[in-house]
Structure 1
Amino acid sequence: MASIAWGLPLLIILIGGGLYLLIRIRFLPFRYLFHAVAVLRGKYDDENDEGEISHFQALTTALSATVGMGNIAGVAVAITLGGPGAVFWMWVSAVIGMSTKFFTATLAILFRGKDSEGKTQGGPMYFIMEGLGKKWKPLAVMFSISGLIGALPVFNVNQLTQAIDDILLQPAGLSMGFKSNLVIGIILATITAFVILGGLSRISKTAEKLVPTMVVLYFGLVLIILGVNYEIVPYYIKLIFTDAFSASFYKGDAFLGGVVGGLILLGIRRGAFSNEAGIGTAPMAHGAAKTNEPIREGLVAMLGPAIDTLIVCSLTALAILVTGVWETSDSNGVSLTATAFENAIPYVGKYGLLLCILIFSISSLFSYSYYGTKCMSFLFGAEKKHIYNYFYIGSIILGATTTLNTMLNLIDTFFALMAIPTMLATVILAPKVIAEAKKYFNKIKENSI
């Protein structure tokens, strides 16, 4: 099912649509990266603006969902199937994704809607309704139904459970298969319940503290691995570029008549899974930002794929490549990354990785619940959104006790179904964003803001 959903049509929608947006706006937002950082740091914050959370909290909430197992396990899956070249196509996906995130997050503020309780909300379902009109409601409903499943944390939980089992339980002789996985699932469900039942405020405050910590810790560990293997780092950086066009290590099916096409599709798919640009999840967090300037939130959102894929995914990829485990180990997913850390930093490396994985995964668990409740509110009314949390908490136990392939196929399929309405509406509404951007950037040039 996932392979059908992630075929040529979706590749055209995500990458073709993203390229179209990038060309339409002529790379304009990329020239304002320093301004984006100033916005993120709160230079332009105004307490009187509409919204619930700060720019920084919006970005860290979105990042706490995207900087997760996609960056650790997803990259490992991409290299296992595609070799070093898959990383290059993940980078391409990120650059295009930065443009897509700029548009979708701007729209999330530009066309905010009201839920059944009269509270201001943002996200694809609202910008479809407010920007395109009520006749487009089926598209908003399609996004929201797909989001109910797509936001489930089953992949993250599955890989976190596997990591705990590989790194802690098996060496201690405590692994009991289904039984120990079930116990891990129950513990994770309990921790998640405590945070998510406190609503967006508690989720965003937790993410604000966890996300910067986890990125710095992970960065430090990978720098040690690269330092130990510094002589071969240039070789592998070069191999990422050369293999992207030769697909020498690709093990999957051909696409568009060749293995390079298959490799491109694999890299784009894993890149989109990692940074979620065009899927429509992040605009739900950015739509809650406290701002009356849509372009500012678009600029902040644009930093997401850069941090997520260009930095964090690249760190994972280099750790796997320079240690050689991608060629010598039979492991896949998170287990492959753990093997790389253990090889380069004996005794300590795998525990450091486990700590990162715990923070990455648990922070993702909190944010995805918020996305699911937003979809539930839109479909059935805000007063019923809390019901989703119980469904969500139950799915954590399912994710802990099911196979990786089942979970990956499930989430890939529903991510694809979320991307269709998100990208379609974004491309149609692109002229509104471009007009807003020209106005805003002209104001910057005139130094009036």
Structure 2
Amino acid sequence: MSTTSAYITAAAAEESSLQQAANTVDGWFAGITEFFSGIIFATIPLGGFDAPVIVLWSILAAIGFSIYFGFVQFRTPHISLEVLRGKWTTEKDPGEVSHFQALTSAVSATVGLGNIAGVAAAISLGGPGATFWMIIAGLFGMCTKFVECTLGVKYRHIDENGVVHGGPFQYLKVAYHKLGRIPVAIITGLFAVAIMLFGVVGGGMFQANQAFGQLRAATGGDDGAFGSDLAALIFGIVFAILVGVVVIGGIKSIGSVTSKLVPAMAIIYVGACLIVILVNIGNVGNAFGAIIDGAFSPEGISGGVLGVIIIGVQRAAFSNEAGIGSAPIAHSAVKTRRPISEGFNAALEPFIDTVLVCTMTALVIIFAWTPEYQDALDAGGADNPVSLTSAAFDSFIPGFNIVLTVAVLLFAYSTLITWSYYGIQAWRHLFGTSKIGDGIFRGIALLLVVVGCLVSTQNIFDFADSALFMCIFINVIGLVILAPKVKEEMKQYLADRKAGRLLEDPEPLPHELAERR
């Protein structure tokens, strides 16, 4: 046998072994996912449809918050923009990052492949009508984000090194305090486990999986340069190393990177969406007509209207993360003396993420909604949804899949580095802070980035959804308990703003005076 033939045979054997290993890992992961998902998404019969209780809870909570706070997300966009610009911030304010950096750090974890692949998955499952319910969920989710990020700052503490410790790991202790120390430890521990699981799966494995899926699709698919499991393995390793370089620096390093990366990737992706929308400007009315008709008169969808609502809400939650408790971790590091100011700032996230970016993606896909494209959706929607969005763009701008690949890689990278920070905060809550412990978590998270390139998308989606809604269930109960304290903060802030006192130290609220006594 010649040297060349021997090399080819050895390479084929190595590829076959790697494929078998990938299939084994995927099968193992599928078993865990099925068990976990069966517990979290317990259903109740509702109108002839088995509706997941936990999804209904997230919908009702978002609507309830909006009513309780007088639909603050619609009344005060000007205040949100003032805060974002740093109008009421001084150099003496405690914290680590600016309002803009806090927003971009959090947005970098939300505006990502959930907007590209998640929208394609929603439409492939629920038709164009799923877009309508994603938008509605995003609008109500603005208020949920307003509440949780206010609390994330309100109950934070800053250690002797100037490092901020905030977010749900602090305010959930207060919310569940009446249950006693042991239940609080159990509840916050379960929440930490859930957010850590979502971080390494939804924020890590899914991002790497879809980034590689887009790269493979843009370079010839299974027959191209990135069509093998070996290529997936190499890509995963390189991607993990690039993520590791940034996350070691903590939130300041992440904030510095995302404050530059998020605007850049937004310009690339949103710019491309606008080009396609302008080219199809005459079809915008028909596209929105399909969205509305599909929202209330869906055809061939399990559960009818309720089924489409559930799909839209699930994908919106995966995309904008309202109610999960993740964003308050990033926002708690903001420089401010007024916790509610960060609530106003954070309310912009679901609007940017779901109302704007997801709607743009949906319009591009709907414009390309031909019988041939429908066949592609039916054939590959669950396996590689990002490639469906790519195909839609490519149908209008030939060769654009290369540009979209760059955007996807940036989206995935920014989301990964931010969720690595969220995950390590959960790890520290469970195991304490130490260099060795932090190193172990980072090693696990980066290893799963590599694994994410080798397993199927649907298994990752299902597991991530389960962890995500487990977070929502625990976190939103805490938000409901503490909502009156947020309302007090809001009333004082608006009164101080009207009186021109926002640059002064805020007066203690009644409950704060009681706590001091």
TM-score bracket for this pair, using the shorter chain length: over 0.9
Identity of counterpart residues, as a percentage? 36
Describe the SS at the equivalent of 2:362: helix
Counterpart in 1 of 2:266?
Answer: 215
Q: After superposition, where does 1:165-314 map in structure 2 within 5 Å? A: 165-170=216-221, 173-248=224-299, 250=301, 253-254=302-303, 259-314=304-359
**Cα distance between partner residues in 1 of 2:310 and 2:288:** 21
The CA deviation at 1:229 is: 2.3
CA change 1:130–1:247 in 2 (3 A) is: same
Shift in CA distance, 111/167, structure 1 to aligned 2, threshold 3 Å = same
Q: Deviations for 1:289-342, whole angstroms, at most 9, x for unmatched residues?
A: 111101100000000000000111111101110012552423321010010111
Q: CA deviation at 1:177?
A: 2.2
Q: Which structure exhibits the higher relative contact order, with contacts defined as CA atoms closer than 8 Å and separated by 6 or more residues? A: 1
Indicate how the Cα distance of structure 1 residues 237 and 29 shifts in structure 2: closer, same or farther if over 3 A, else same. closer
Asked whether the 8 Å contact 1:106–1:295 carries over to 2, the reply is yes
Correspondent of 1:145 among 190, 193, 215: 193
Equivalence for 2:114: 70
- State whether structure 2 residue 62 is matched by structure 1 residue 18: yes
Distance in 2, matches of 1:103 and 1:61, equals 18
Q: d(CA) in 2 for partners of 1:448 and 1:197?
A: 39
Separation in structure 1 between the aligned mates of residue 160 and residue 227 of structure 2, nearest angstrom: 47
Q: Which consecutive residues of structure 1, in runs of 5 or more, have no partner in the other structure?
A: none
Alignment pair present for 1:426 and 2:461: no
CA pair 270-354 structure 1, distance change in 2 beyond 3 A: same
Query: Which residue of 1 is the match for residue 124 of structure 2?
Result: 80
- Offset at residue 11 of structure 1 (A): 2.1
Give the corresponding residue for 2:380.
331
1:437: how far off? 0.6
Q: Which digits, 9 at most, give the CA deviation of each residue in 1:4-30, with x for residues without a partner?
A: 524532123211111111111111343
Aligned to 1:56: 100
Matches within 5 A, 1:22-33: 22-33=66-77
CA contact (8 A) 1:115 1:377 kept: no
Q: Which has the higher Rg, Structure 1 or Structure 2?
A: 2
Specify the SS of the correspondent of 2:209: helix
- Indicate yes or no: 2:86 matched with 1:42: yes
Q: What is the CA distance between 1:227 and its match in structure 2? A: 2.4
Residues 1:225 and 1:436: Cα distance change in structure 2 (over 3 Å): same
Give TM-score scaled by structure 1 length.
0.94
Q: Kindly provide the amino acid, as one letter, of the partner of residue 339 in structure 1.
A: A
1:352 is aligned to 403
Question: Does the CA-based 8 Å contact 1:116-1:381 persist in structure 2?
Answer: no
Which whole-Å CA distance do the structure 2 matches of 1:215 and 1:37 have between them? 18
CA contact (8 A) 1:115 1:382 kept: no
Look up the match of 2:510: none
Write the distance in 1 (CA, Å) between the matches of 2:249 and 2:55: 38
Give the TM-score of the pair, scaled to structure 2: 0.82
Shift of residue 42, structure 1, vs aligned partner = 1.3
2:460 aligned to which of 374, 384, 407? 407
| Alignment map for 1:366-385 (pairs within 5 Å) | 366-383=417-434, 384-385=437-438
Residue 514 of structure 2 is matched in structure 1 by none
1:30 to 1:176, Cα distance in 2 relative to 1, 3 A: closer
Q: Does residue 343 of the first structure (1) align with residue 395 of the second (2)?
A: yes
SS at the partner of 1:200?
helix
Q: Which residue does 2:24 correspond to in 1? A: none
Q: Give CA deviations for 1:236-261 in whole Å, capped at 9, x if unaligned.
A: 111111210111253xx32xxxx211
SS in 1 for 2:291: helix
Q: What letter corresponds to residue 241 of structure 2 in structure 1?
A: T
Q: 1:29 to 1:337 in 2, by over 3 A?
A: closer
Alpha-carbon distance in 1 for matches of 2:160, 2:340: 27
Cα distance in 1, alignment partners of residues 96 and 229 from structure 2? 41
The total of aligned residue pairs comes to: 442
Report the CA distance between 1:114 and its aligned residue.
6.0
Tell which deviates more after alignment, 106-115 or 144-153.
Answer: 106-115
CA distance in 2, matches of 1:314, 1:358: 21
Residue 387 of structure 1 and its aligned partner are, at CA, apart by 2.4
The aligned amino acid for 2:340 is I
One-letter identity of the residue aligned with 1:398: V
Instruction: Using the TM superposition, give the Cα deviation of residue 51 of structure 1 relative to its aligned residue in structure 2, in angstroms.
Output: 1.4
Distance, in Å, in 2 between the alignment partners of 1:352 and 1:97 is 31
Q: Is the 8 A contact 2:110 2:415 kept in 1?
A: yes
Note the aligned Cα RMSD (angstroms).
1.8
Q: Secondary structure at the residue paired with 1:51?
A: coil
Tell me which moved more, 287-296 or 41-50.
Answer: 41-50
- In structure 2, give the amino acid aligned to 1:86: A
Which moves more between the two structures, 133-142 or 145-154?
133-142
CA contact (8 A) 1:323 1:343 kept: yes
Counterpart in the other structure of 1:128 = 172
Q: Is the 8 A contact 1:115 1:378 kept in 2?
A: no
Check conservation: 1:78, 1:267, Cα contact below 8 A.
Answer: yes
The range that moved more, 128-137 or 303-312, is 128-137
Partner of 1:318: 363
The answer to whether the 8 Å contact 1:76/1:334 transfers is yes
CA 1:278–1:96 in 2, change beyond 3 Å: closer, same or farther? Answer: same
Determine if contact 2:137/2:316 at 8 Å carries over to the other structure. yes
Given the superposition, is the C-alpha separation of residues 379 and 59 from structure 1 closer, same or farther in structure 2, using an over 3 Å criterion? same
How far apart are 1:83 and its partner, in Å?
0.6
Distance in 2 (alpha carbons) for counterparts of 1:188 and 1:83: 33
Structure-1 separation of matches of 2:39 and 2:321:
19
Give the corresponding residue for 1:2. Answer: 37
Report SS of the residue matched to 1:244: helix
Deviates more, 1:270-279 or 1:377-386: 377-386
Q: CA deviation at 1:117?
A: 8.0
